[in-house]
Amino acid sequence: MTGDDIISVVSALIETVENVHVTSNIKAVRDPDDDAMINTAHDGKAYYIVSGDPDLLNLKKFNGIEIVSVDVMLKILQSKA
């Protein structure tokens, strides 16, 4: 991807950002920070969690939320463009 491509992707993502009030307390992995990501995605009704964290990536999917790497997400976004 070129610098312009990255700017376009980030700009498109920024337009879809929402604040999420997190009320869930799901314990899915050993790291509480990772659980915070899962809880935020769950309460925000996210379709994806994008992460480089091995513990999250090993889950692959949680409660219908796909957990993918940045590279995989870029491919998903490019396929929808």
Q: Tens of pLDDT along 7-43? A: 887 888 888 888 999 999 999 999 999 999 999 999 9
Query: For the chain, how are helix, strand and coil distributed in percent, rounded to 5?
Result: 50, 10, 40
Write down the pLDDT at residue 81. 67
Q: Is 43:35 a contact under the CB 8 Å cutoff?
A: no
In the predicted structure, residue 73 carries a pLDDT above the cut 70: yes
Q: What is the CA radius of gyration of the chain?
A: 14
Write down the pLDDT at residue 23. 97
Domain residue limits, the chain: 3-80
pLDDT in tens, 35-69: 999 999 999 999 999 999 999 999 999 999 999 99
Q: Is 25:39 a contact under the CB 8 Å cutoff?
A: yes
In the predicted structure, residue 1 carries a pLDDT above the cut 80: no
Mean pLDDT, residues 3-8:
82
